[in-house]
Amino acid sequence: MKVAVIQMDIEFGKPQINYERITDRIRQACKGDADVILLPELWTTGYDLKMLDQIGDSNGEQVIEFISSLAETYHVNIIAGSIAKKTDEGIYNTMFVFDRKGEVVKEYSKTHLFRLMNEEKFLTEGNNDGHFMIDDIPVAGFICYDIRFPEWMRKHALEGAKFLFVPAQWPKPRTEHWRTLLITRAIENQCYVVACNRIGADPDNEFGGHSMIIDPWGKVIQEAEEEETIIYAELDLAELEEIRTRIPIFEDRRTDLY
Residues carrying an active site annotation: 41, 110, 144
Asked if residues 125 and 143 have their Cβ atoms less than 8 Å apart, the reply is: no
Pairwise CA distance, residues 52 & 82, whole Å: 13
Asked if residues 82 and 92 have their Cβ atoms less than 8 Å apart, the reply is: no
Sequence-distant (≥ 6) Cβ neighbours of residue 19 within 8 angstroms: 44, 66
Q: How far is CA 165 from CA 49, 193, 204, 227, in A?
A: 24, 6, 26, 21
Sequence-distant (≥ 6) Cβ neighbours of residue 42 within 8 angstroms: 10, 81, 82, 83, 84, 93, 169
